[in-house]
Structure 1
Amino acid sequence: MDIIIITTIIAALFLVIGAAEPLAARLRLPYSVILAVLGSLIGAAAIFFLRTDLTDALNPVAEAILALPIRSNVFLYVFLPTLLFQATLGMNLRRMIDDWVPILTLAVVAVVVATLSVGYALNLVSTLPLAACLLIGSIVSTTDPSAVVSIFRSISAPRRLARIIEGESLLNDAAAIALFGLFMGYVMLGVPDPTLSDAFAKFPMLIAGGAVAGWLTAQAAVWVMAFFARYERAQITVSVAVPYLAYIGAEQTIGASGVIAVVAAGLTLNLAGPGRLPPQAWTNLREVWDLLAHWAGALIFILAALLIPRLLDDLRISDVALIGVVVVAAVAARAAILFGLLPLLTLARVSPHVERPYRAAILWGGLRGAVTLALALAVTESIRVPSETKRLVGILATGFTLFTLLVQGTTLRAVIGRLGLDRLSPIDAALSRQVVAVALQTVREDVAKTTGNYELTHDIVRAEAKRFGQRLDRAVKSAEEVAEILDRDRVTLGLIALAGAERDTILARLRERSVSARLSERALTNADRLIEATRTGGRSGYSRAGRRAVGYSLPFRAAVLLHNRLGLSRPLARLTADRFELLLSQRLILRDLDSFIDGRIQRIHGRRVGDLLRELLARRVQTVETALEGLRLQYPGYAEELERRFIRRTALRLEEREYASMREDGLIGAELHMALTTDIARRRAAAEQRPQLDLALQREELVRQFPLFADLDEAVLKRLSRGLTTRYANAGEVLLHRNSTPKSVFFIASGAVELESAGQTWRLGRGEMFGQMAILMQRPRRTEGRAIAPSTFLVLNEARFRRLLRRSPTVQEAVRASAEKRGLSIEGLLDA
């Protein structure tokens, strides 16, 4: 086909795409549904004009539309990587982790169940062989990311619901396409009844190989992009190559899943990019990818929809019944997972609870789209697939896709409304009134200042002030109408507003570059958790989320395990440095929030609520200070280095602001301003480099600070520091269990521990030890010990502790004092 004709048609399709969005908004229908309908109408019209005798004038246009080189590889190798990669870049990965069990259940288990359900149901009612039926099942089992994500965003679905759906739609493509490849091979080889165990045995390799390929591709790309640190367009250009290299490399080189490779590459860049790229470059990169994905998603839908009339060209009455079987089997399989398996996982405490309305919306939101059509098209293009199988695959996949888009897609908004997911909860309604009241009060004050500065006419000012005051009175009266809710939940509303202000402060610090982009993502995640936990749990939820933000994470614990067991200290050093920097930033941000309580919250909710919020905020600040002090005690020199780095970054920000102000005032010219900002950029790059943390050296310093080890000589101290292992514990974690066999003694480096034995309770703090009595008395422990704050311990095994005891009179004296406190006699045991 002539390149001019192809270019003209693609340009015309972009016009259709541009018109589809406002049309969808006007009709209150999902954008993807409008694209599918428009594409189907264009395809049907092309076929109609070629077959009708009404006119031949439009035949060249119709022939050009039907002759477009639309092949399955175009969808899978050109459009799909773009959609998947952009979606992973925009994901909040740390929030996804909160719901990883339901996401993986829907993305993998639900795909397998839907494949088997549809396959065996079709095998019972049709003459197709089992392999072909399972092939159809794999084709229709994947939800389409471009359809699902756009629809759930367009209807402003609850964030957690959208998160689960988005995560599922991204990952289930890999499972479905992997199954598609397996069963497609059986169909082309003419194997009617495949052995499912052989098919699923290849599944882990497809997933693992794709993940490794994507991770390696993204790591290489991040290294190259960091090398091009001063060339933003070069960095964005490199990112465009990443999904395609990952997809093609995985598919064609090692035979793994290209979809998983793209998702892994996107996740890797999502995690590593903010820390390796300048903040503005990262923001611009994501904006470019948003636009690319918008175009790719629209084109994949409208081009796939052009195929629908051709795929349904040979539709028979009996095929409609088979489409009904596919619909029923697919929906039943999805319902079994959502209403059967997920509640069981929740009862087993494996998965967080997913409310019934959420599950109903997820059931109806399992839309299919261009990916399903692309896989069906791949079957119809194959010369090794029997013609009847190709016909049925095209018809069933297309019919099922149309059902999900035209029936489920058009009614999804109504279903969500029926479930009440689009309505504000009472607390959200009260919050909205609070926001309006606070905003109007602030506006009134600002307007009064403005009118005074401009010396406007007194009568006009008075008339407008009266009019504005009436609106403010209505807002206050509206707030008073929910007095019952405010009396019960006023503290919760204040805490939600406080957490929102914390999030805004983090974003402001990010723009000022006083908080690194990589760590700001984690800080924003903590703020989001605060907001959601407060909505569901009120004051206690806010406190729990605050403690969680300070606690030791699962990756941190894994790094500790690698350090203690395998001697790999680099992950622990990096995560410890991250924790240090995050706590320093969090302390600064929390201290800025007092003014928000005074200036905003107290004006709406009163002094009593303001005082209570200040008390809760003070507790959070104290928790952060305690954790930070523990790190300072462990790594004294490193804390000073980080604080110096923060001061240097702040000074650079202020210097840059001063030069910008001079440029605006005309005191310096553009050339001088460019030279000055270039110099600042060079110094900022140096200041961004975080100092290295040497864990081994720091632990020796920590051991020297212990009063218990003060009488040991240098050689013994070095041997002791090598024999000690580090253990971290969150508040509430049990360290000693009753009736357990004693194996270790704990020395408290930071934090605090509560011990309980025979009805007595006592607390120990930094510099003290516990666990020694059971070892000396050689009997099972009678004491239970738990951390009451995020704590760090140095742990010594029994043999090394006994050697230490023989060499250190100070430790012997501490053991005697502890025994006397508990009324025990150990004089004969110290020499054993």
Structure 2
Amino acid sequence: MDIVLVTTIIASLFLVIAAADPLAARLRLPYSVILACLGMLIGVGAIFFLRTELTDALNPVAEAILGLPIRSNVFLYVFLPTLLFQVTLGVNPRRMMDDWVPILVLAVVAVVVATLAVGYALAYASALPLVACLLIGAIVSTTDPSAVVGIFRSISAPRRLSRIIEGESLLNDAAAIALFGLFMAFVMLGVPDPSFQDALAQFPVLIAGGAVVGWLTARIAVWLMALMARYELAVISVSVALPYLAYIGAEQSIGASGVIAVVAAGLTLNLTGPARLPPLIWTNLREVWDLLAHWAGALIFILAALLIPRLLEEVRAGDFVLIIVVIAAAVAARAVILFGLMPVLSLLKLSPVVERPYRVAILWGGLRGAVTLALALAVTESFRVPVEVKRLVGILATGFTLFTLLVQGTTLRWVIGRLGLDRLTPLDQALSNQVIAVALQTVRADVARTAENYELTRETVRSEAKRFAERLDRAVETAEEGAEIQDRDRITLGLIALAGAERDTILARFREQAISARLSEQILTEADRLIEAARSGGRTGYQRAARRSLRYGRAFRFAVLLNNRLRISRPLALMTADRFEVLLSQRLILRDLNGFIDGRIRRIHGKRVADLLHELLTRRQEAVETALEGLRLQYPGYAEELERRFIRRTALRLEEREYGMLREDGLIGAELHVSLMQDIATRRLREEQRPKLDVAVQKAELVRQFPLFADLDERSLRQLTRALRTRYVNEGDVILRKDSPARRVFFIASGAVELAVAGQTWRLGRGEMFGQMAILMQKPRRTAATAISSSTLLVLDEVRFRRLLKRSAGLQEAVRQSAKARGVKTDAFTIPALIDA
């Protein structure tokens, strides 16, 4: 085939891609549907000109179009990794974990159920063997990421709905392709009745193997990117290679799922890349991938659509009945999962509730596209598949894909509208009216000043002012009509706006490089949770989400367990350092929000709501300060190191801005500006390295803070420091249980502990001890001890405690005082007697 002609055709397809975007906007149809229609028109036109006798001039072009090297491997190995990888870079993995159960149900269970439903329905309605029917079921069971994600983003669907659909489309390809490979092997071997045990046995290897390969490949790629962090094009080039190497490595090396490998690689880069790469390079990398995915998604639809006329050439009247059977079985299987299984999981508290309108939208949004056509094409390309099976696979897969695109795709926007998912809630509408009225008042004042500054003619100003005043009056009237909002709703609206302002402030601080990209993602996730919690639960939901953001999660508890039991301190040190930086960033961000309340919310919702939000914000600030103070007590000096780092990074940002202004004013040349920017980039790279936190070296400093040990000499303090063991406990952890053996004494370095005995409770804080009385009295413990906040404890065994008690008069006095506090008569014993007991 002439390379010039092929190049011309490919270039012309890019012109079609360019025309499809404005055409989709004008017709109010999904972009992917327009691309599919244009692709089919091109394919039909090529066949027409090749077979017509009207003219032969266009025959070479038609032959070139129909002869394009479009094979199934082109879709699976060239286009699919690009689309999947770009979607993983654009999602928020932490937010997606909130809906991981419905995502996995749709991505795995729904695929298996759809495969079985379509397979057995076809086996009943046709003469095909069961294995061929199950092969068709596997082909049509996967939703296409480029079709689904693009459509849901284009119609501004709710975030949670888009998140579930994106998660499903990312993962269901792996399950469908695994089933496809299994049944394809059975068809080629001529096995009429397959064993489902073989299919299920392969799933763990496919998924786990793909995840490991993707994670390992991404970690190597991130390491290379970090080495080349100063060279933007090199970093982007490594990112382009990553999904293809992960896909091919998983598929060809261990026979695992290439799709899962690409998803794992993309999520790993999404989570670790922002912390290892400069923010500007990371932003540009994301933009490059957006462009690559746009081209790949458009080309995959056009090229796949070119195949549709060819696949439908041998269609017969009876085939339409089978297409209807496939459609009915696939839709019914998806409905059973959405309206049968998922509500049951929600009732059993195994899954978050997915509202009914969301489930209807997910049902109708299960579009098929290029992936289904690519799998069907792989069957038609095989010489070992019977001819009739190849014909029906091509026709049924193509017919079902056309139904989802031309029927479901074109009506999806209407369905979303009928469900009310594209409309503002009454609260949001009321807020919109209030905001418009306030904003227009500000705009009117600004327009008046502009007209005065430019000395415009009075007639022009008067006519435009009249028009603007009419619009302002309508806005004020609309706002007053909705002014019957209850105070509770006004507070909810104010909290939503406050959480949104917090999110904007985080983004601004990230752009200014005041906070790292990795931690900004974590803080952004918490801000998103605040918005959703305020929207669903009002003030109570907002406060609950704010408290949750300060709690220690399961990962931190596991890190504490590793440190306490196995002396593996690195995970705890990393998470503690992250917590330090997050709390410092939150403290700065929350202080900025007071101005937003006074400048915006007070004007829209009034003084009462503004004062209440100030009060809630003050409580959050106090909680952050308390949590930060607890860490300061545990690790003195580390917060100051982070604050110095923040100041140095701020100074670099201001220095960079100053040089930019000097360059714009022409006071320095381009060469000098480039040199200065390189110097700043080098220094900024050094500042990106966060000070290391060693959780083990703080013990000596903690020991010196105890008044109990003030009378010990330096040698005794060193011996005591070596003897003490550091133990970290989280809020709610049980430290001592009633009737447990008395073998250790605990000193509270930071935090608080509650003791309970005989219906009475005591609370101990920093500098106090517990557990000593049971040792001295040589009796089983009658006291239970529970941490009521995250605490650092210093633990001493019984033998060393008795030795220490002999040398320290301060400790002896503390024992006497604690005995009195617990109602033990001190005249009933003497300290020396207890020591020698």
Shorter-chain TM-score range: over 0.9
Distance 1:81 1:800, change over 3 A: farther
**Partner in structure 2 of residue 162 of structure 1:** 162
3-state SS of paired residue (2:422): coil
Q: Indicate the residue corresponding to 1:725 in structure 2.
A: 727
Counterpart position of 2:301: 301
**Aligned equivalents of 1:468 and 1:208: distance in 2?**
63
Bigger mean CA offset, 40-49 vs 254-263: 40-49
Q: Aligned equivalents of 1:177 and 1:334: distance in 2? A: 18
Structure 1 residues 477, 736: CA separation in 2 closer, same or farther (over 3 Å shift)?
Answer: farther
Taking structure 2 as the reference length, what is the TM-score of the superposition? 0.92
Instruction: Identify the residue that residue 546 of structure 2 maps to in structure 1.
Output: 546
Q: How much has 1:463 moved relative to structure 2?
A: 6.0
Shift of 1:184: 1.5
TM-superposed CA distance for 1:294, in Å, is 0.5
8 Å contact kept, 1:20–1:31: yes
Give yes or no for contact 2:750–2:793 (8 Å, CA) kept in 1: no
Separation of aligned partners in 2, 1:434 and 1:781: 62
Q: Please tell me whether the aligned partners of residues 656 and 677 of structure 1 are also in contact (alpha carbons under 8 angstroms).
A: yes
Map of 1:580 onto structure 2: 580
Greater mean alpha carbon deviation, residues 584-593 or residues 400-409: 400-409
In structure 2, relative to structure 1, the CA distance for the partners of 1:270 and 1:385 (3 Å cut) is: same
Tell me the CA shift for residue 661 of structure 1: 2.3
Q: State how 1:676-695 maps to structure 2 within 5 Å.
A: 676-695=676-695
Displacement after TM superposition at 1:453 (Å)? 4.9
Aligned pairs for 1:266-305 (under 5 A) are 266-305=266-305
- Secondary structure of the structure 2 residue equivalent to 1:695: coil
- Contact 1:70–1:303 (CA<8 Å) still a contact in 2? yes
Contact 2:745–2:801, Cα closer than 8 Å, also in 1: no
Distance, in Å, in 2 between the alignment partners of 1:771 and 1:157 is 58
Q: Is the 8 A contact 2:246 2:262 kept in 1?
A: yes
| Pairs within 5 Å for 1:151-230 | 151-230=151-230
Cα deviation, 1:123-180, whole Å, max 9, x if unaligned, reads: 3333323322222221111110000001101111000000000011001111111221
Amino acid at match of 1:717: L
Distance 1:811 1:349, change over 3 A: farther
| Aligned-partner Cα distance in 2 for 1:753–1:717 | 22
Secondary structure of 1:99's aligned partner: helix
Q: Residue 434 of structure 2 aligns with which residue?
A: 434
Could you give the per-residue CA deviations for residues 565-589 of structure 1, whole angstroms, max 9, x where no partner exists? 3333222222211111111111111
Return the offset for 1:786. 6.0
- Relative to structure 1, the CA distance from residue 124 to residue 515 in structure 2 (aligned partners, 3 Å threshold; closer, same or farther) is same
SS in 2 for 1:697: coil
* Matches of 1:366 and 1:699, distance apart in 2: 58
The answer as to whether partners of 1:533 and 1:542 remain within 8 angstroms in 2 is yes
Q: Secondary structure at the match of 1:568?
A: coil
Query: Structure 1 residue 299: deviation in Å?
Result: 0.6
Report the 3-state secondary structure (helix = DSSP H, G, I; strand = E; otherwise coil) of the residue aligned with 2:791.
strand
- After superposition, the Cα gap between the structure-2 partners of 1:314 and 1:771, relative to the gap in structure 1 and judged at 3 Å, is farther
Cα deviation digits, residues 441-466 of structure 1 (max 9, x gap): 33344445545555656776566555
> Could you say what secondary structure the match of 1:659 adopts?
helix
How far apart are the structure 2 equivalents of 1:331 and 1:454? 64
Cα 1:549–1:302 change in 2 (3 A) is: same
Cα distance in 2 between the residues matched to 1:738 and 1:220: 47
For 1:811 and 1:309, locate their aligned partners in 2 and report how far apart those are by CA, in whole Å: 90
Correspondence 1:510-521 to 2 at 5 A: 510-521=510-521
Distance 1:223 1:229 in 2: 10
Q: How does 1:641-680 map to 2 (within 5 A)?
A: 641-680=641-680
Match of 2:559 in 1: 559
Answer yes or no: is the 8 Å Cα contact 2:368–2:404 preserved in 1.
yes
Give, in whole Å, the separation in 2 of the partners of 1:398 and 1:780.
74
Conservation of the 8 A alpha-carbon contact between 2:49 and 2:55:
yes
Q: Matched residues, percent identical? A: 75
Q: Aligned residue for 1:70?
A: 70
Secondary structure of the residue aligned to 1:794 is strand
Q: Give yes or no for the alignment of 1:379 onto 2:376.
A: no
**Match for 1:50: what amino acid?**
L
- Listed one character per residue, the Cα deviations across residues 295-316 of structure 1 (whole Å, up to 9, x for unaligned) are 1001101111111121122222
Q: 2: distance between equivalents of 1:386 and 1:192?
A: 13
For 1:825 and 1:109, locate their aligned partners in 2 and report how far apart those are by CA, in whole Å. Answer: 67
Measure the CA separation in 1 of the matches of 2:203 and 2:520.
Answer: 37
Consecutive unaligned residues in structure 2, runs of 5 or more = none
What is the CA-CA distance between 1:74 and the residue it aligns to?
0.3
8 Å CA contact 1:805–1:812 kept in 2: the answer is: no
Q: Structure 1: give runs of 5+ residues left out of the alignment.
A: none
**Per-residue deviation, 1:595:** 1.0
Confirm or deny: 8 A CA contact 2:745 2:798 kept in the other structure. no
State the Cα deviation string for residues 645-681 of structure 1 (Å, max 9, x = none). 1111111112222222222333333333332222222
Query: CA separation in 1, counterparts of 2:552 and 2:565?
Result: 18
The letter for the 2-side match of 1:725 is R
Matches within 5 A, 1:446-461: 446-451=446-451, 453-454=453-454
Cα pair 2:120 2:130 within 8 Å, conserved: yes
The code of the aligned residue for 1:234 comes to A
- Three-state SS of the structure 2 residue aligned to 1:350 is coil
Q: Deviations over 1:225-263 (max 9, x none)?
A: 111122111111111111111111111122111111111
Q: 1:454 to 1:329 in 2, by over 3 A?
A: same
Query: Over residues 753-780 of structure 1, what are the superposed CA-to-partner deviations in whole Å (9 max), with x where a residue is unaligned?
Result: 5666666565443334567778878668
More deviation, 320-329/772-781: 772-781
In 1, the alpha carbon distance for the partners of 2:438 and 2:117 equals 55
Match runs of 1:81-96 below 5 Å: 81-96=81-96
Measure the CA separation in 2 of the matches of 1:424 and 1:245: 44
- Secondary structure in structure 2 of the residue aligned to 1:485: coil
User: Superposed, which structure 2 residues align to 1:452-601 within 5 Å?
Assistant: 453-454=453-454, 464-465=464-465, 467-601=467-601
| 1:786-801 alignment runs, 5 A limit | 787=788, 791-794=790-793, 796=795
8 Å Cα contact 1:143/1:173 also seen in 2? yes
The amino acid of 1:724's aligned partner reads: T
Query: Do the aligned partners of 2:214 and 2:260 also contact (CA within 8 Å) in 1?
Result: yes
Measure the CA separation in 1 of the matches of 2:408 and 2:226. Answer: 45
Other structure's SS at 1:726 match: strand
Distance in 2 of aligned mates of 1:412 and 1:804: 78
Q: Give 3-state SS (helix, strand or coil) of 1:724's partner.
A: strand
The offset of 1:70, in angstroms, is 0.5
Shift of 1:405: 1.2
Structure 2 residue 18 is matched with structure 1 residue 26: no
**Pair 124,709 (structure 1): closer, same or farther in 2 beyond 3 Å:** farther
Aligned residue for 2:793, secondary structure, equals strand
Offset at residue 371 of structure 1 (A): 0.4
Distance 2:339 2:723 in 1: 56
User: Distance between the aligned counterparts of 1:66 and 1:757, measured in 2?
Assistant: 85
What do residues 499-547 of structure 1 show as CA deviations (whole Å, max 9, x unaligned)?
1111111111112111112211112111111111111111111112212
Are the aligned partners of 2:50 and 2:59 in contact in 1 as well (CA < 8 Å)? yes
**Amino acid across the alignment from 1:377:** L
Contact 2:634 2:792 in 1 (8 A): no
Which residue matches 1:767?
Answer: 767
| Cα contact 1:738–1:784 (8 A) shared by 2 | yes
8 Å contact from structure 2 (residues 366, 404) kept in 1: yes
Shift in alpha-carbon separation, 1:777–1:341, aligned structure 2, 3 A: farther
The DSSP-based 3-state class of the residue aligned with 1:225 is: helix
Taking the TM superposition and a 5 Å limit, the aligned residue runs for 1:612-761 are 612-708=612-708, 710=710, 713-721=716-724, 723-729=725-731, 733=732, 735=734, 748-752=748-752
Distance 2:781 2:113 in 1: 49
Paired amino acid for 2:793: L
Other-structure match for 2:11 = 11
Q: How far apart, in 1, do the equivalents of 2:799 and 2:662 lie?
A: 65
Q: CA deviation at 1:824?
A: 5.4
SS of alignment partner, residue 212 of structure 2: helix
